[in-house]
Amino acid sequence: MLTRQQKEEIVKKLSEEVKNSSSCVFADFKGFGANDMVTLKRELRNSDSTFQIIKKKLLSIALKNNNIDLDPKTIEGQIAVSVSSDEVTSAKVIYETAKGNENIKIVGGILDGEIIDKEKVEKLAKLPTTNELRAKLVGQIQAPVSGFVNVLAGVPRSFVQVLKAVADNKEA
């Protein structure tokens, strides 16, 4: 059983995480195995997200500290919260895990201080992450430059091929 001081620290920490994050995902993990939980937490940690199981009353206090009007008691099941600075990452990781394991379910979330339902979290999970978007942007910027370089390199290459063909014809 947690002491009052431990509960206050949990609420304070979660309140700060929610305040500094772009998104939170709520998941029902009833029946989710311990090994699966360790794997999920590791994946989320590698993507700079947190995942913690929390009592609904403590979650309610942390949300109220951030002026978010959501009563966690209305959410069925055992609740875990994943907090991420990126809007998409934690939703994507939990969504992919839920596709392979029926014992974890997305039940809702928060995006930029607004409560979102399960369907919106799943749509969010299908979006590319910030790093994926950056990679696509770099590829789009690089494509015309590399095409131009190939065109410029093609002229001397063609000239050399013509000279080689002329030299081959003179030898024959």
Query: What is residue 68's three-state secondary structure?
Result: coil
Q: What is the DSSP string of 90-144?
A: HHHHHHHHHHH-TT-EEEEEEETTEEE-HHHHHHHHTSPPHHHHHHHHHHHHHHH
Query: Could you read off the pLDDT of 100-128 as tens digits, one per residue?
Result: 888 899 999 998 888 899 999 999 899 88
Q: What is the pLDDT of residue 169?
A: 84
Determine the average pLDDT of the residues in 23-33.
Answer: 89
Q: Flag whether pLDDT at 167 surpasses 90.
A: no
User: Is pLDDT larger for residue 171 or for residue 123?
Assistant: 123
Query: Could you read off the pLDDT of 6-15 as tens digits, one per residue?
Result: 889 988 998 8
Determine the average pLDDT of the residues in 38-54.
Answer: 90
d(CA 155, CA 118): 56
Handedness of CA 76, 66, 48, 34 (dihedral sign): negative
Query: Could you read off the pLDDT of 57-111 as tens digits, one per residue?
Result: 999 999 899 888 888 878 888 899 999 878 888 999 999 999 988 889 999 999 8
Determine the average pLDDT of the residues in 52-58.
Answer: 90
Q: What is the pLDDT of residue 163?
A: 79
Backbone phi and psi for residue 50, each to the nearest 5 degrees, phi listed first: -115, 160
pLDDT tier for residue 145 given thresholds of 50, 70 and 90: confident
- What's the full length of the chain, in residues? 172
pLDDT tier for residue 151 given thresholds of 50, 70 and 90: confident
Q: What is the pLDDT of residue 172?
A: 63
